[in-house]
Chains A and B, each alone.
Chain A
Amino acid sequence: MKRIYLIAGIMVAIAILLFVNSGKDMTTYGSFADANSSTKKIKIVGKLAKNKPMVYDPAKDPNHFSFFIKDNNGEEQKVVLLKAKPQDFEMSEQIVVTGRMKEGVFVATDLLMKCPSKYKDEEIAIKTKQNG
């Protein structure tokens, strides 16, 4: 079984190497301050600034949705998402954007949001007159 062990050993070594190497694929959630000092793509967690304008006008550009988010340091920043406006965006509790700073705007290519679960709410639907 020695040869097998040798090969298994080599594979374990490669695995460790890959795991160490894959650290490059991992990041911690950054802030807009980090984004300003880097040209690399970065992930930022924040909350939607609801008092700031949200603009999505597909008649002009369907791949341009701009809004403001406040990161965990409290910094507010304009974000442009190069996608359609996601459903239930206003209801989001938390937003994760992936992108980089460009000319003072955070240009995001991806967005994930956490919404309060819609279908598991503890509210009981009460029948209205119309629904019989």
Chain B
Amino acid sequence: MEKIQYIGETLLPGQIGQMGVLLAFVGALLSMVAYWFATQRRESTDYESWRNIGRYAFLTHGLGVFAVIGSLLYAMINQLYEYQYVQAHVSEELPMKFIFSALWEGQEGSFLLWMFWHVLLGFVLLFKGKSWETSTLTVIAAIQAVLATMILGIYIGFGDEPSKFGSNPMLLLRQTIDAPIFAQADYLKLIKGNGLNPALQNYWMTIHPPTLFLGFASTAVPFAFAIAGLWTKRHTEWLKPALPWALFCGSILGIGILMGSAWAYEALNFGGFWAWDPVENTSLVPWLLIVAGVHTNLISKATGHSVRSSYIFYLLGFLLVVYSTFLTRSGVLGETSVHAFTEMGLESQLILFISVFTLAGLGLMIWRWRGIPHPKSEEHTTSKEFWMFIGTLILLFSAVLITGSTSLPVYNKIMQVFNPAFEGKVITEPVAHFNKYQLWIAVFIGYFSGFAQFLRFRENNWSKNALRFAIHLGGGLGIAGLLTYLSSLLIELHTWQYTLLTFSAYFTIVSNLDYLITHLRGKLKIAGSAFSHIGFGLMIIGIMASGVNRKIISSNAFLMDGLIAGGDEEMSKKNITLFRNVPTMMQDYLVTYKKDTLDHFTRTYTVNYQRKNKKGKLVEDFNLYPTILYDKSFTKIATSNPDTRHYVLKDVFTHISALPEVEQNFELKKQREEELKYKALNLEQGRTQLLHDTLDVENQDTVFRRTFQISLESISRNPVHHEYKPEPGDLAFSTKLKVRRSDDDSVYYANPVILLRGQLIYTYPDQIDDLSAKFKIGQDAIEKVFALDNQLKYENINLRQGDLGKWQDLKIKFTGFNKAPEHPDYSRKEGDLAVGAKLDITAPNGKTYHAEPIFLIRDQQPLNVKVEVSELGLHVRFPLLDPGKETIQLMLAKSSTPSSIPVEVATDSLPSNYIVLEAMEFPGINVFWFGTLLMMFGLGFSIWNRMSTRRSGESLV
């Protein structure tokens, strides 16, 4: 095929990007090798040259990563759709503030984000790592080399099907897709971008992924230290520098996970903050392992015990991050996850990734196992290290259980390899399943973290502290019991397991507060653990309040899951239908769907909540604004975003779970509107007209007859309609129609509107939902109401500036001239002499209207532009100006109210003015947020202590 010279492509960013990818890959490989040699030959003379090669190679690698990100960003900002990644994630409509979100929306972009953090963390190790630089950076560089293959996008192998390595973000669209459009040299002019998924267009998508990936990336550092310790046999020395990194990792990864929860809660319609989704689980597990590692690390530093455990936890922390990457990106999770991930052919590469690092880590661990120091003496059951260690075992236990259940799809896949007929298993009720087991984990952690604070490292003389210990323990248990009892008055604890959990959470809060006050006595520096444990306790209390006591306001059922037979079926009925402006009682709230407004693609609904107390006094009155985001064609709802009323003690959460079909799809709405069978009537004021209607009866051959009585009540020249937004110069009116139907006792009113704007006629039908009837004004009515000019009988009056004239029942004041008049029907031409007469017209009811008719001379011809005061039915012309006498002549006419108005009626119109709403109350959810944040803060806070003790060389544990 002849090579086409494509027009308008900007190829330079792609070339820079491709170079960056290669640089990143080669730099990482070289750095790994050089640092490996530097570590192996650390005693020899060529150590420094190897180390320097490693350094420069790693810096080059970093440069490469930055170059890829930079050129990709450049291409995205400039909407260079010749690049596949840009075309897939950016569009003209995408606001610039979401450009970063678009960058990491795709797999390649998120790999880049992950690598970016590894580079920055690597730089810190490079400059500050001292004796650990070469060994840890060997590991980081190795990780980066593997990650770089994910974006390499090269084909290796021979024959017809070479295997693809990685997916390159800098590829051109025409290189990735074979489409006929690329036969055109100017194809670029014809294509546009797909843009960012509307559900992801919010600030959470800007802050959550970078934080989470920094958390993921920072698990690599304790991992690197663990490998380095094993490799160089410095089994005790590595513990000290690794600890602040592990604390940092725990804190950031925790915050990253929390941001995901907050996103789910605030902006998505999950109706909660945790759903035990595989994607959530696999990010929680590394966090649990790192936190366990922090605890054994502390034990090891203080007592020399548990060094092996520290190794294992830190190794597993990173390996589980890689496993998480495999689960979420390989497509293996399939239908078990709500998070949409597509297969990209990276499965085998990801398996290779896990295998290489698992073998390296665990292989090294086994190889060095016997050499790792461990004290001969056993930990005493009265010592802090003993119970801390049990605590870490519980965390490990939690991680194992979560990983096991989440890996079910992997197990199924493996079984199917051996036995293709194997039927895959699934968890019937995932949330209940996870809660059931993790509840016990939390109970034990609560107790242990409560009383272990009062124990001491290396304690073997129990009797010395028994009394002191007993006092604190007894006090803690007592207060926790009291608090549990008080809580049970406020929230339902439902089962004894929940009561036990609440008790253990209070116990750790009370004990750690006690510890903070009586033991630390203001030594804030080492208070991090107390903060974290109090945070943990508060988190559990928050879960008990907001999760277990979550109340569905929009349901009528007060049922507890599992307590009543068939209760779970009643429980799942969570929605309520609200008709516009019909107040509906929902539990304690009187809820009204007030209105909705459409702005671009977002439709915002105003839902009013009112609650009265027992005396009938209004105590709560607020609006919530849940939104619906349409896709670009207005034929589908892209996403439904909730809105939440935040109180200190509770949240009221609302989202729209469904809309009438015609409101979801505007094409369908138009089509339905066209399909309506309108019947024309000519309504005279004061006379009732009958309309006979037949209705097919379902599954029967008979029809049902009914009669509508319709009469015209009045015509208003000041029309109101929820879709009509008045503009100056509009000619519009509405008719008030009184409607009754033979099989319904009520009287209904409809107010359809018709509008003449410029040359276009718009009709605004009005619907009576209870009758499924729709009314609109016939187009001929425009002429009848706003009579044709030649049918008007004009009368002349003359006015001088400042004069107050009278015409019929109107007072007309001529206030002055306007030398630069404006009117929708008048467009200024070169050479026009135009002047407007400013008039104030006062109606008998005292209302004053402003009008400005225009007189002009164009090509020596006198012309005038009529104005109409729509509400008065008044027509005003300004045909003559007498400069000598300074008088103006006005022509005035009133259009008479017509005797009849054509109206069209459809009796088959389905109601569409409702929303389906789901509303929930989350009591005490702020306790959850505060607790979790305190936990992460405590972890971060401890870094301060570790860093300063590192410098001064003493530990305060």
Interface residues of A (CB under 8 A from B): 1-4, 7-8, 11, 15, 18-19, 22, 25-29, 41-43, 56, 58-59, 61-63, 82-85, 87-88, 94, 96, 98-99, 107, 109-110, 112-114, 117-122, 124-127, 131
Whether A125 contacts B191 in the complex (CB less than 8 A), given A1-B374, A27-B425, comes out as yes
- Chain B residues contacting A43 (CB-CB under 8 Å) are 426, 428
A3 touches B381 (CB 8 A): yes
**Chain B interface: which size bin?**
35 or more
Additional A-B contact list (16), CB under 8 Å, known A3-B379, A83-B573, A87-B640 = A11-B393, A18-B401, A25-B428, A25-B433, A26-B408, A26-B428, A62-B658, A82-B569, A96-B335, A98-B429, A109-B569, A110-B572, A119-B194, A125-B192, A126-B190, A127-B191
8 Å CB contact of A28 from B426, B432, B575: B426
CA distance A112 to B179 in the complex (A): 34
B192 touches A131 (CB 8 A): yes
- Chain A residues contacting B193 (CB-CB under 8 Å) are 125
For chain B, what secondary structure do more than half of its interface residues adopt (helix, strand, loop), or is it mixed? Answer: mixed
Chain B residues 550-579 with CB under 8 Å of chain A are: 568-569, 571-577
A114 touches B335 (CB 8 A): yes
Cβ-closest chain B residue relative to A110: B572
- Chain B residues contacting A27 (CB-CB under 8 Å) are 425-426, 428
- Chain B residues contacting A122 (CB-CB under 8 Å) are 177
B574 touches A63 (CB 8 A): yes
Chain B residues 178-192 with CB under 8 Å of chain A are: 179, 181, 189-192
Cβ-closest chain A residue relative to B338: A112
Q: From residue B748, how far is it (CB to closest CB) to chain A in Å?
A: 17
B479 is an interface residue with CB less than 8 A from chain A: no
- Chain B residues contacting A2 (CB-CB under 8 Å) are 378
Cβ-closest chain B residue relative to A108: B572
Q: From residue A95, how far is it (CB to closest CB) to chain B in Å?
A: 9
Produce 1/0 per residue, B186-219, CB < 8 A to A: 0001111110010000000000000000000000
B425 touches A125 (CB 8 A): no
- Chain A residues contacting B429 (CB-CB under 8 Å) are 25, 41, 98
8 Å CB contact of A126 from B191, B342, B572, B910: B191
- Chain A residues contacting B404 (CB-CB under 8 Å) are 19
CA distance A41 to B948 in the complex (A): 57
8 Å CB contact of A29 from B181, B194, B424, B916: B424
Whether A88 contacts B335 in the complex (CB less than 8 A), given A1-B374, A19-B404, comes out as no
Produce 1/0 per residue, B905-917, CB < 8 A to A: 0000011001010
Q: From residue B828, how far is it (CB to closest CB) to chain A in Å?
A: 29
- Chain B residues contacting A119 (CB-CB under 8 Å) are 88, 194, 197
9 pairs across A/B with beta carbons < 8 Å? Answer: A3-B381, A22-B437, A59-B914, A63-B573, A83-B657, A99-B569, A109-B568, A118-B197, A124-B181
Most chain B CB inside 10 Å of its own CB: which residue of A85, A87, A88: A87
Interface residues of B (CB under 8 A from A): 87-88, 173, 177, 179, 181, 189-194, 197, 334-335, 338, 340, 342, 374, 378-379, 381, 386, 389-390, 393-394, 397, 400-401, 404-405, 408, 423-429, 432-433, 436-437, 568-569, 571-577, 636-637, 640, 657-658, 660, 910-911, 914, 916, 918
8 Å CB contact of B426 from A18, A26, A114, A125: A26
A1 touches B191 (CB 8 A): no
- Chain A residues contacting B87 (CB-CB under 8 Å) are 124
Cβ-closest chain A residue relative to B89: A119
Whether A28 contacts B423 in the complex (CB less than 8 A), given A19-B404, A109-B569, comes out as yes
B334 touches A124 (CB 8 A): no
Cβ-closest chain A residue relative to B374: A1
Would you list the 6 A-B pairs with minimal beta carbon distance, nearest first?
Answer: A63-B573, A62-B575, A84-B658, A84-B657, A109-B572, A28-B423
- Chain A residues contacting B394 (CB-CB under 8 Å) are 11
- Chain B residues contacting A112 (CB-CB under 8 Å) are 335, 338
- Chain A residues contacting B437 (CB-CB under 8 Å) are 18, 22
Most chain B CB inside 10 Å of its own CB: which residue of A29, A58, A87, A88: A58
Cβ-closest chain A residue relative to B437: A18
Q: From residue A38, how far is it (CB to closest CB) to chain B in Å?
A: 12
A26 touches B427 (CB 8 A): yes
B423 touches A62 (CB 8 A): no
Cβ-closest chain B residue relative to A56: B658
Whether A83 contacts B88 in the complex (CB less than 8 A), given A117-B342, A124-B191, comes out as no
8 Å CB contact of B577 from A4, A19, A28, A58: A58
Q: From residue A119, how far is it (CB to closest CB) to chain B in Å?
A: 5
B425 touches A83 (CB 8 A): no
A8 touches B425 (CB 8 A): no
Q: From residue A84, how far is it (CB to closest CB) to chain B in Å?
A: 4
- Chain A residues contacting B194 (CB-CB under 8 Å) are 119, 121, 125
Q: From residue B42, how far is it (CB to closest CB) to chain A in Å?
A: 33
- Chain A residues contacting B181 (CB-CB under 8 Å) are 124, 126
8 Å CB contact of A62 from B389, B425, B433, B576: B576
A59 touches B192 (CB 8 A): no
- Chain B residues contacting A62 (CB-CB under 8 Å) are 575-577, 657-658, 916
8 Å CB contact of B397 from A11, A109, A117: A11
- Chain A residues contacting B173 (CB-CB under 8 Å) are 124
8 Å CB contact of B335 from A8, A11, A94, A127: A94
Q: From residue A40, how far is it (CB to closest CB) to chain B in Å?
A: 9
Q: From residue B396, how far is it (CB to closest CB) to chain A in Å?
A: 9
- Chain A residues contacting B400 (CB-CB under 8 Å) are 15
Q: From residue B417, how far is it (CB to closest CB) to chain A in Å?
A: 17
Q: From residue A126, how far is it (CB to closest CB) to chain B in Å?
A: 6
B575 touches A63 (CB 8 A): yes
CA distance A131 to B177 in the complex (A): 23
Q: From residue B102, how far is it (CB to closest CB) to chain A in Å?
A: 11
CA distance A124 to B188 in the complex (A): 11
Most chain B CB inside 10 Å of its own CB: which residue of A7, A29, A63, A88: A63
- Chain A residues contacting B424 (CB-CB under 8 Å) are 28-29
